[in-house]
């Protein structure tokens, strides 16, 4: 029983250390656009959720993208290069993963589109 306890304590300590060290280094803030505006500048990457506006400009055969992301009150210009999620289009919610540049443009390194999943097609209103 004592040995069982020791083994448990050792594994628990290792897991605790791993979780602590890994989450310290790689966790990111998850913000809305207005929260990003209010937030003091951070050094690391952040994820910003907002709604894609109608001004989407594509270039480079669709691999480069510039658009405005907006929530209730604030908006920001997002610049992104890479494959664009299939469901990306004005009106959907996207999560841009990257950082706000000195030019005021948000440079996204990844773009996650919220999957309008099978469980949420627009219901009929009758």
Partner 1 sequence: MILAFLGSGALLAGLVLAAFSALLSFWAGYAENGVMIQVGRRAFYATAAMILVAGVLLETALLTHDFSLAYVAEHSDLSTPIALVAAAFYGGQEGSLLYWTLILGILGSASLLASARIGLRLAAYSAGIMAAILTFFLVVLVLVASPFDVLQITPPDGLGLNPVLRDGGMLIHPPVVLAGFASFAIPFSFAAAALLAGRSDAAWIAHTRRFALVAWGLQSAGLVLGMWWAYHVLGWGGYWGWDPVENVAFMPWLATTAYLHSSQVQERRGRLRGWNFGLVMLAFLLVVFGTFIVRSGIVPSVHTFAVSAIGPWFFGFLGVCLLFSVGLLAFRAGDLKSHAEPAPAVSREGAFTLQNLLLIGVIVVVFWGTMLPLVSGMLGQQRVVGPTYYERAAGPLFAALLALMAAGPLVPWRHAGAPLWRSLRWPAGAFAFLLAALLVAGVRSLPALLGLSLALAVAATVVYEYARAAGRWRLAGGGWSRALALVMRRRRHYGAYLAHLGLAMLVLGLAASHFWQQEKDVTLLPGEQVAVAGYTLTYAGVQNRELADHSELVAAMSLGGQSLEPARATYAGLGGQSLTHVAISSSPIADVYVVLAGTNGDGSASFRIFVNPLVSWIWAGGAIIILGVLLGNAGERRVGVAPVAARVRSPVGAS
Instruction: Give least dist CB 5 to partner 1, A.
Output: 11
Instruction: Give least dist CB 1 to partner 1, A.
Output: 7
Alpha carbon separation from 125 to 21, 25, 51, 118, 122 (Å, rounded): 50, 47, 23, 18, 9
Are 10 and 48 in contact by the 8 Å Cβ rule? The answer is: no
The answer to whether 122 contacts partner 1 (rule: CB under 8 A) is yes
Quote the CA–CA distance of 109 and 83 in Å, as a whole number. Answer: 11
Give the per-residue contact string, 52-71, with partner 1 (x = CB under 8 A; - = no).
------x-xxxx--------
Instruction: Give least dist CB 81 to partner 1, A.
Output: 8
Among residues 18, 72, 101, 105, the one that binds partner 1 under rule CB under 8 A: 18
Among residues 5, 25, 41, 104, the one that binds partner 1 under rule CB under 8 A: 25
Quote the CA–CA distance of 118 and 64 in Å, as a whole number. Answer: 28
Closest CA to 73 of 24, 38, 107, 22: 38
Instruction: Give least dist CB 106 to partner 1, A.
Output: 17
């Amino acid at each position: 029983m004592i040995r069982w306890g020791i083994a448990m304590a050792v594994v628990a300590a290792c897991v605790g250390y791993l979780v602590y060290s890994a989450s310290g280094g790689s966790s990111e803030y998850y913000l809305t656009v207005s929260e990003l505006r209010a937030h003091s500048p951070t050094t690391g990457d952040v994820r910003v959720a907002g709604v894609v506006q109608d001004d989407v400009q594509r270039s480079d055969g669709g691999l480069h993208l510039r658009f405005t992301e907006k929530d209730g009150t604030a908006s920001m210009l997002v610049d992104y290069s890479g494959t664009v999620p299939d469901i990306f289009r004005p009106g959907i919610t996207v999560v841009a993963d990257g950082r706000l540049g000195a030019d005021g443009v948000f440079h996204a390194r990844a773009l996650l589109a919220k999957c309008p999943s099978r469980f949420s097609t627009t219901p009929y209103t009758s």
